[in-house]
Amino acid sequence: MKYIHDFTVTDNIRQNHEFVVLTLKCDSTIPEIVPGQFAEVRVDNASNTFLRRPLSIHDVNYNNNSLKLLIQEVGEGTKKLSNLNKGDSINMVYPLGKGFTKPLNDQKSLLVGGGCGVAPLLFLGRYLVKNNITPRFLIGAKSSKDLIRLDEYRDLGEVMITTEDGSEGVKGFIIHHPVLKTEKPDFNIIYTCGPDGMMRVLSKYAAKHNIDCQVSLENNMACGFGACLCCVTPTQQGHKCTCIDGPVFDSKYLKW
């Protein structure tokens, strides 16, 4: 069941020059949300946006009907949202899409994120912990200043890092990290969200080592709930909507 709810901003914490975390509280009861699902957020008081903006659920607290969004400022929509203040109202259609699926009990997971793609991985991490699976994170960034909320992730499990300039962790891209260089991976499922290029590389890696890989796509969307067919991605079964058949797909299913 999808809902249209008004939320109130209870907190807006700036992470760095381009990221904020919004905490939002709902008067209604928030429904159960699966990690990887997203919301279509209305952007109010903006001169140059028209459609809603898709944003992953970053964290959920069912006890007080609140959730968090991790927002990267890229254009007018995300800039407006990241400048909301405590007390401001925000309207969301949610929860949308198919989220990550739970690993088998004996599977070892690696959660790989880059850019705003780290957003759904926190919620996913919590979910894995709740299911007695310890997540390991591999996070890639341009530079150390782009790494945010590491403590939150570390609370859940090991955090490995690559930076393009080598200012923290391993220098290079995610694929250069030693954890992906071993003969035989010591995990058997990858969850990933981030730049297309990164996810394609991981999906090839997973195919080569014959392990599972769930990727979360960020295709442009108009509706977010399957009504417009704008957000398709080519799959083994033809065009599928990223918004309802995804955003999380088994990488083997995609025609990459």
Partner 1 sequence: MVDLSVNLGNNLVLKNPVMTASGTYGYGTEYADFIDINQLGGIVVKGTTLTKREGNPYPRMAETPKGMLNAVGLQNVGVDSFIETIYPKIKDFNTNMLVNVSGSTVEEYVETARKINSLDNIPGIELNISCPNVKEGGMAFGTSCPSAIAVTKAVRDVYKKHLMVKLSPNVTDITEIAKGVEGAGADSVSLINTIMGMAIDIESQNPKLSTITGGLSGPCIKPVALRMVWQTANAINIPVVGMGGISSVSDAIEFILAGASAIEIGTANFIDPEITIKVIDGIEAYLCEKGCKSIGEITGALKI
Ligand X SMILES: Cc1cc2nc3c(=O)[nH]c(=O)nc-3n(C[C@H](O)[C@H](O)[C@H](O)COP(=O)(O)OP(=O)(O)OC[C@H]3O[C@@H](n4cnc5c(N)ncnc54)[C@H](O)[C@@H]3O)c2cc1C
> If binding is defined by CB under 6 A, does position 51 make contact with ligand FMN?
no
* The one among 77, 113, 135, 169 contacting ligand X by CB under 6 A: 77
Interaction partner, residue 230 (ligand X, a copy of itself, ligand FES, none; CB < 5-8 Å by kind): ligand FES
In the chain the beta strands, taken as DSSP E runs, fall at 3-14, 19-26, 38-41, 53-56, 59-61, 66-72, 89-96, 109-114, 136-141, 159-163, 170-171, 189-193, 212-216, 232-235, 238-241, 248-250
* The one among 84, 161, 202, 223 contacting ligand FES by CB under 6 A: 223
* Contact present, 69 and 57 (Cβ < 8 Å): yes
Q: How far apart are CA 2 and CA 40, in angstroms?
A: 11
**Measured from the CB atom, is 217 or 230 closer to ligand FMN?**
230
> If binding is defined by CB under 6 A, does position 42 make contact with ligand X?
no
Amino acid at position 103, single letter: P
Cβ 45 to a copy of itself shortest distance, Å: 4
Amino acid at position 92, single letter: M
- What is the CB neighbour count within 10 angstroms for residue 152? 17
Strands 89-96 and 109-114: unpaired
**Measured from the CB atom, is 67 or 119 closer to ligand X?**
119
Interaction partner, residue 229 (ligand FES, ligand X, a copy of itself, none; CB < 5-8 Å by kind): ligand FES
Q: DSSP per residue over 149-187, as a string?
A: -HHHHHHHS-EEEEETT-SSSEES-GGGSGGGTSSS-S-
Beta-carbon contacts of residue 213 (< 8 Å; ≥ 6 apart): 189, 190, 191, 192, 202, 203, 205, 206, 207, 250, 251, 252
> If binding is defined by CB under 6 A, does position 230 make contact with ligand FMN?
yes
* The one among 4, 31, 44, 255 contacting a copy of itself by CB under 8 A: 44
> If binding is defined by CB under 6 A, does position 70 make contact with ligand X?
yes
Q: How far apart are CA 256 and CA 242, in angstroms?
A: 14
Q: How far apart are CA 62 and CA 233, in angstroms?
A: 32
> If binding is defined by CB under 6 A, does position 170 make contact with ligand X?
no
**Measured from the CB atom, is 6 or 44 closer to a copy of itself?**
44
Cβ 152 to ligand X shortest distance, Å: 14
Q: How far apart are CA 141 and CA 164, in angstroms?
A: 7
**For ligand FMN, what does the binding mask look like between residues 200 and 229, x meaning CB under 6 A?**
----------------------------x-
The stretch among 128-136, 177-185, 193-201, 216-224 that binds partner 1 (CB under 8 A) is 216-224
Binding site for ligand X (CB under 6 A): 38, 49, 51, 53-56, 70-72, 74-78, 116, 119, 218-221, 247
Contacts to partner 1 by CB under 8 A: 1-4, 42, 48-52, 93, 219-234, 238-239
Residue ranges in contact with a copy of itself by CB under 8 A: 44-47
